[in-house]
Amino acid sequence: MLDVRRLRLLRELSRRGTIAAVADALSYTPSAVSQQLSALEREAGVPLLERSGRRVRLTPAAEGLVEHTESILEILHSASADLASAATTSSGTLRIGVFPTAVPTLLTPALVSLSTDHPGLSLRVSELDPAATPDALRGDALDVALVQEYDHVPLAPEPGLESEPLLEETVHLAATGPGSLADRRDAWWIAGTPGTLCHALTVRACEAAGFTPSIRHHADDFGAVLALVAAGQGVALVPDLGTVNAPDGVVLTPLAIRRRTFLAYRRGTRRHPVIAAARQALHAAASSTGLRSRTAR
């Protein structure tokens, strides 16, 4: 019989590429990961890893096993959800991953609602960039999380995860005067840290307008971004939720670019009472923002 925990390690290796990365993500030692994968090979009876120096590569048999693992984990999550549904009250821990601008507008009212309606829940919040949330969900560090896509930076399909639309925002050009995106080809730009969605949006939106942005500052907090804009340090792209309390002197020009937020969770957990409670609270909070809210699938 194949061990599910070992199968999960193999899946993580297929996603992360190295044993060290798997160990770091799941709080194992590299030696422990290697030992568990060797034990999985013995259980499977066929080679799963091809070693080349310090690196390993999954064999075709291992790639097929990873595909089965996704289905196995979904079935186990679904079975757990069915068992939890038999309880009369929602209890346990709910771990939520959010991006910074969602904290005051989406997360805070959702937490108030969850605390009132489900006092047995222990709520845990982690703030992180949406680019990091898929791995956190697959690694069981989070139960639900807010993920995003922008026009020019679409959301890639994520194995093992399910998502549903939450809200949609307009992206604005923040500057000290009016003008179009193309008018800012010679301006200094303020963008997110390289590797974040906000950084990718700035680069790709400007490239679509026919130029490469000259990025002077990197900032991930939209309050800091707008302060830099107000100080004449550059221009930036800011979505609706990030424009709250914009400083005097900042002109916000709406663009034909949208940011879409989705609620994501592991496949098979959708009907779990704790996940269902989180979904309901976050959709209610999204509706109260006055932005274009979407109906869950």
Instruction: Specify whether 47 is located in the same domain as 178.
Output: no
Spatial separation of the C-alpha atoms in residues 57 and 38, rounded to whole Å: 13
**Where does a domain end: 28, 55, 84?**
84
Query: Which pLDDT score, from 0 to 100, does residue 294 have?
Result: 44
Q: Report the share of the chain in percent with pLDDT over 90.
A: 61
Asked whether the CA dihedral 102, 293, 154, 10 is positive or negative, the reply is positive
Q: Which amino acid is at 235?
A: V
Instruction: Specify whether 147 is located in the same domain as 48.
Output: no
Question: 71 by DSSP, 3-state: which?
Answer: helix
| Mean of the per-residue pLDDT values of the chain | 90
Asked whether the CA dihedral 189, 209, 132, 297 is positive or negative, the reply is positive
Inter-CA distances, 44 with 11, 31, 36, 64, 67, Å: 15, 20, 12, 12, 15
Query: Which pLDDT score, from 0 to 100, does residue 247 have?
Result: 95
Instruction: Specify whether 112 is located in the same domain as 222.
Output: yes
Tokens of 244: 């709250």
Give the domain range for residue 34.
Answer: 4-84
Look at residue 278 and tell me whether its pLDDT is greater than 90: yes
Instruction: Specify whether 174 is located in the same domain as 273.
Output: yes
Tokens of 136: 């956190």
Query: Which pLDDT score, from 0 to 100, does residue 146 have?
Result: 94
Look at residue 71 and tell me whether its pLDDT is greater than 90: no
Query: Which pLDDT score, from 0 to 100, does residue 254 have?
Result: 97
Instruction: Specify whether 210 is located in the same domain as 68.
Output: no
To which residue do tokens 């020009």 refer? 253
Instruction: Specify whether 152 is located in the same domain as 198.
Output: yes
Q: What is the pLDDT of residues 240-257, one digit of tens each?
A: 999 988 999 999 999 999
Query: Which pLDDT score, from 0 to 100, does residue 293 have?
Result: 47
Among 267, 98, 110, 236, which residue's Cα sits nearest to residue 171? 236
23-27, 151-155, 165-169, 213-217: the lowest-pLDDT one: 23-27
Q: What mean pLDDT comes out for the span 6-11?
A: 89
**Where does a domain end: 50, 84, 118?**
84
**Where does a domain end: 65, 84, 103?**
84
Instruction: Specify whether 98 is located in the same domain as 40.
Output: no
Spatial separation of the C-alpha atoms in residues 140 and 158, rounded to whole Å: 15
Instruction: Specify whether 129 is located in the same domain as 253.
Output: yes
Residue 297: which pLDDT band, with cuts at 50, 70 and 90? Answer: very low
Spatial separation of the C-alpha atoms in residues 57 and 224, rounded to whole Å: 43
Residue 105: which pLDDT band, with cuts at 50, 70 and 90? Answer: confident
Q: What mean pLDDT comes out for the span 106-125?
A: 94
Q: What is the CATH number of the domain that holds 14?
A: 1.10.10.10
Q: What mean pLDDT comes out for the span 218-223?
A: 94
Instruction: Specify whether 120 is located in the same domain as 233.
Output: yes
Spatial separation of the C-alpha atoms in residues 144 and 162, rounded to whole Å: 10
Q: What mean pLDDT comes out for the span 200-223?
A: 96
To which residue do tokens 């068992």 refer? 83
Tokens of 277: 């409670």
Instruction: Specify whether 144 is located in the same domain as 226.
Output: yes
Instruction: Specify whether 189 is located in the same domain as 270.
Output: yes
Instruction: Quickly list DSSP for 258-293.
Output: EEEEEEEEETT-TTSHHHHHHHHHHHHHHHHT-SEE
Look at residue 111 and tell me whether its pLDDT is greater than 60: yes
Q: What mean pLDDT comes out for the span 42-48?
A: 91
Pairing of strands 92-98, 144-150: parallel
Query: Which pLDDT score, from 0 to 100, does residue 55 have?
Result: 75
Residue 156: which pLDDT band, with cuts at 50, 70 and 90? Answer: confident
Domain count, the chain: 2
Residue 88: which pLDDT band, with cuts at 50, 70 and 90? Answer: low
Query: Which pLDDT score, from 0 to 100, does residue 132 have?
Result: 83
Element (H, E) at 155: none
N-term to C-term CA, the chain: 36
Instruction: Specify whether 193 is located in the same domain as 162.
Output: yes
Query: Which pLDDT score, from 0 to 100, does residue 292 have?
Result: 56
Spatial separation of the C-alpha atoms in residues 120 and 174, rounded to whole Å: 43
Q: What is the CATH number of the domain that holds 225?
A: 3.40.190.290
